[in-house]
Amino acid sequence: MSEANAITAIAYRDLLKLLRDPARLVTTFIFPFLFIAVLGGSMQAALGDAVGFNLLTATFTGVLAQTLFQSTAIGVISLIEDRESDFSQEIFVSPISRYSIIFGKILGETLVALPQGVAILVFGLVVGVPLTFEDVLVMLPVAVIICFFGGAFGVIILANLRSQRAANQIFPFVMLPQLFIAGVFAPAVNLPPALEVLSHIAPLRYAVDLLRGVYYQGSAEYSRVVMDPPLFNLGVMGALFAGFLAVGTWLFVRGERNR
Amino acid sequence: MPPIIEVENLVKRYRKADSNAVDGISFSVEPGKLFTLLGPNGAGKTTTISILTTTLAPTSGRVLIAGHDLASDQSAVRKSVGIIFQKPSLDMNLTAEENVRFHAIMYGLYPFRPFYAFMPRAYKEQVRELAEILGIEGEIFKAVKTFSGGMKRKLEIIRSLIHRPTVLFLDEPSLGLDPASRRGLWEYLRRVRRESGTTLFLTTHYLEEAEEADTICVINRGKIVSYGTPEQIKSDLIDEYLLLDAEDRESLRTELQRLEVPFTETPQFKVPLNGVRPQMIIKSIDTTLSVLQVHMPTLEDAYLAIVDRQQAGEAGEAGEAGEA
């Protein structure tokens, strides 16, 4: 019971931070908005008729998944920053399980990422992405799952980093390539074999494809946009989540104590 | 009563380091006492405190805190101790009360509630009391970032005491505080000891803070240099002697032998005082003295001598490395 209370307290702290300083999120909207409006919009205008599905919509769903994934991952990695500003010392000397600490942090960063998802949904409506209330309803639980998944990805990155500086240097290298090989802007189909393998290694691929899987469910474009069945993606994500979380937390705690 | 802290042969070598940061130290602390780990920067104080508070794994050695073995029961150790870190560890985005509440929930004292108003009465009373002691009743709901350095330190102490730890560790608590805040902090710490009987484990490089302690453990380069009450440390570290010389050395030597005081010729006559007042010796000497020096250093002088020895040692090593 006290573990659940502690997890909630850690998550609540992140939410409070967001509520007290919402301005810091404004910059995080710039890239998603540019990707959707400029990239998605221009691709649709130039190639839309040729590919047989709406590129603006595909980009929108991809960027939505990517933003949720990335925001939670970066948020979890901020545990390093905490450690440097020394607040995490206060968390790590408390008598709760290390797994609870990490899970609380993932939960908190999920609460921070979801409002960003809402902003992107609204933006999608503005630029003309077809969105029904039903679409939003089925995408919401998937959004939460993607956040958890991104958080676990953050843990495995965090476990291998020693400073915020290292994080700032490494993160673009593990994130940027995924934008392309995971098929954020357009489905990653007809790739050369080497890239096909890489695409399947990129965790973001499964998050993007899962969101598209539920959004395009029952539509004529489904077979052209969605790469794997949602249940398959969900299974892969579940396995990776458990693995990242268990191994990442273990590595992180070991690295902290065995300096 | 059994000791509340027992440390046996503690060793810590950091990865990629070629020497031990803590090099086989052993000591014990009685319940309710003020124990001070005194040493210059880099002596191994923070390393020791980090191991004792479970955030750092030792290389070898055995540590018992409040009867719990550090190696097998970290969670119980964490519950028994409170820590004031060297750098402030408050969340600047939260108010003072939210920082305290976060801590209380993390230690399983109260269930989570998003607002102060929903917290149990016992918690509210505890917070009110602590705020009163600090004289910050008016500020307890204000953001911590508006607090002065002294206020932040006090808030950290309040926070660390809310789960009623048996041992409170303080890692250089007066670092960065002005003299007035430092005095206020000490008054508060004395009060905590008096009222709750909490054992205080302090690290410092300020000598005047160490002089308050029941036991001082002086460490340098990871090893214990001196250990005991402040008085014992003084007699241990401080070398008090008279330095005498005369034109007629033969006469002075005869006189000193007649007085039956031990001395060495270096070639001046060095007479250890061993608690004897210098005057007692001087008034019994008739030989005309050419040199008369009384060497009675303060504890500070003695402590600085240790630090100097360390720096001299480092310079020596650097020289050797340079040659190699």
Find the range with the poorest average confidence among A180-184, B4-8, B207-211, B320-324: B320-324
Q: Do A76 and A151 touch, CB atoms closer than 8 A?
A: yes
Q: Compute the distance between CA of residue B230 and CA of residue B212 in angstroms, rounded to an integer.
A: 8
The predicted structure's pLDDT at residue B49:
92
DSSP A39: I
Pairing of strands B5-12, B22-29: antiparallel
- Measure CA of the first residue to CA of the last residue in chain B; give whole Å: 53
Shortest distance, CA B28 to any CA of chain A (angstroms):
22
Q: Which stretch of DSSP H or E encloses residue B245?
A: strand B241-246
Nearest alpha carbon to residue A186 among A201, A205, A202, A173: A205
Residue A16 and residue B94: Cβ atoms within 8 Å? yes
Which tens digit of pLDDT belongs to each residue from B112-149?
999 999 999 999 998 888 777 767 778 889 999 888 88
Residue B324 has pLDDT above 60, yes or no: no
B45 to chain A, any CB pair closer than 8 A? The answer is: no
Structure tokens at B131: 């705020």
A87 touches chain B (CB under 8 A): yes
Chain A nearest-CA distance from B92, in A, is 9
Contact B75/A at CB under 8 A:
yes
For residues A230 and B309, which has the higher predicted lDDT (pLDDT)? A230
CB A204 within 8 A of CB A152: no
Cα distance between residue B81 and residue B83, in whole Å: 7
Cα-trace Rg, chain B? 25
Q: Give CA–CA dist B117/B64, Å, rounded.
A: 40
**Given this model, what pLDDT does residue B65 score?**
94
| CA nearest to B253, candidates B283, B289, B280 | B289
Interface of A with B in 19-58 (CB under 8 A): 20-21
- Gap from B321 CA to chain A (nearest CA, Å): 25
The reply to whether residue B53 touches residue A93, judged by beta carbons under 8 angstroms, is: yes
CB of A36 closer than 8 Å to CB of A120: yes
| Range ranked top by mean pLDDT from A76-85, A165-174, A225-234, B225-234 | A225-234
Of A5, A86, A258, the CB nearest to B105: A5
Of B185 and B27, the structure prediction assigns the larger pLDDT to B27
Query: Which pLDDT value is given to residue B313?
Result: 59
Q: Regarding beta strands B241-246 and B269-272, do their DSSP bridges make them parallel or antiparallel, or are they unpaired?
A: antiparallel
* Residue in B with minimal Cα distance to A6: B106
Give how far A17 is from chain B: nearest CA, Å: 6
Chain A with chain B: Cβ pairs closer than 8 A: 79
| Residue B36 contacts residue B215 (beta carbons within 8 Å) | yes
Closest Cα in chain B, distance from residue A146 (Å): 26
Tell which wins on pLDDT, B29 or B318: B29
Q: Is the pLDDT of residue B191 over 70?
A: yes
Asked if the peptide bond before residue A95 counts as cis, ω within 30 degrees of 0, the response is no
Higher confidence at residue A55 or residue A208? A208
More confident residue, B101 or B176: B101
Q: pLDDT-based confidence at A93, cuts 50/70/90?
A: confident
Average pLDDT score over chain A: 87
Partner B contacted by A8 (CB < 8 A) = yes
Q: Is a pLDDT exceeding 60 seen at residue B317?
A: no
For residue B175 the two structure tokens come to 């670092």
B79, B81, B89: residue with CB nearest A86: B89
- Phi, psi dihedrals of residue A183, rounded to the nearest 5°: 75, 40
Closest Cα in chain A to B15: A259
Distance CA A203, CA A182 (A): 8
Q: Tell me if chain B has a CB within 8 Å of the CB of A89.
A: yes
| Among candidate residues A150, A170, A172, the one with its CA nearest the CA of residue A240 | A150
Q: Supply the DSSP symbol for A159.
A: T
- Tens-digit pLDDT profile for residues A17-33: 888 877 777 777 777 88
Instruction: With a cut of 80, say whether residue A160 has pLDDT above it.
Output: yes
Q: List the single range of A54-63, B15-24, B164-173, B181-190 with lowest mean pLDDT.
A: B181-190
- Best of B54, B78, B102 to disrupt the A interface by mutation (most A CBs within 10 Å)? B102
Residue A105 has pLDDT above 90, yes or no: yes
Pairing of strands B199-204, B60-65: unpaired
Residue A157 in contact with residue A73, Cβ under 8 Å?
yes
| pLDDT surpassing 90 at residue A154 | yes
In the predicted structure, residue A140 carries a pLDDT above the cut 90: yes
Nearest residue in chain A measured CA to CA from B111: A5
| Cα distance between residue B227 and residue B216, in whole Å | 6
Average of per-residue pLDDT across A169-180: 87
Mean pLDDT, rounded, for B97-123: 91
Would you say B210 and B216 are in contact if contact means Cβ atoms under 8 Å apart? Answer: yes
Determine contact: A250 vs chain B, CB below 8 A.
no
pLDDT at B235 over 80: no
Give pLDDT tens digits for B202-221: 998 877 778 888 999 988 88
Question: pLDDT confidence of B315, banded at 50, 70, 90?
Answer: low
Tell me the C-alpha distance between B296 and A223, whole Å.
Answer: 92
A93·B114 Cβ contact <8 A: no
Termini Cα distance of chain A: 32
Rounded distance between C-alpha atoms, residue B220 and residue B20, angstroms: 12
* Residue A206 amino acid letter: Y
CA B265 to CA B109: how far, in whole Å? 67
pLDDT at B140: 87
State pTM to two decimals. Answer: 0.82
pLDDT of amino acid B296:
78
Q: Which two tokens stand for residue B21?
A: 């940061």
Q: What are phi and psi of A184, to 5 degrees?
A: -70, -40
Q: What is the pLDDT of residues A230-242, one digit of tens each?
A: 999 999 999 999 9
Whether the per-residue pLDDT at A82 is higher than 70: the answer is no
Residue B252, pLDDT above cutoff 60: yes
How sure is the predictor about B312, in pLDDT bands with cuts at 50, 70 and 90?
Answer: low
- Give the number of other CB atoms < 10 A from CB of residue A186: 18
Rg, Å, chain A Cα set? 19
Per-residue model confidence (pLDDT) at position B322:
36
**pLDDT at residue A1, rounded to an integer:** 67
Helix (H, G, I), strand (E, B) or coil at A59: helix
Average pLDDT over residues B219-227: 87
Note whether A259 contacts B: Cβ–Cβ < 8 A.
Answer: yes
What is the distance between the alpha carbons of residues B12 and B49, in angstroms, rounded to a whole number?
12
The pLDDT of residue B321: 39
CB contact under 8 A, A258 and B83: no
**Cα distance from A100 to chain B (closest Cα, Å)?**
10
Among A38-42, A96-100, A182-186, A245-249, the range scoring the smallest mean pLDDT is: A38-42
Q: How far is A5 from chain B (nearest CA, A)?
A: 5
Q: What is residue A211's three-state secondary structure?
A: helix
Query: How many whole angstroms separate alpha carbon B209 and alpha carbon B202?
Result: 9
Q: State the average pLDDT over residues A174-184.
A: 87
Chain centroid, CA A57 distance in Å: 18
Report the alpha-carbon distance of residue B112 to residue B305 in Å, rounded: 53
Give the sign of the dihedral formed by CA A161, CA A165, CA A169, CA A175. Answer: positive
Residues 89-118 of B with CB under 8 A from A: 89-91, 93-94, 98, 101-103, 105-108, 110-112, 114
Question: Is the Cβ–Cβ distance between A208 and A186 less than 8 Å?
Answer: no
Chain B CA closest to residue A87: B89
In a 3-state reduction of DSSP, which class is residue A194? Answer: helix
Say what the pLDDT of residue B309 is: 67
A21/B55 Cβ within 8 A: no
> CA–CA separation, B241 vs B223, rounded Å?
27
Question: Is-contact B248 B290, C-beta < 8 A?
Answer: no
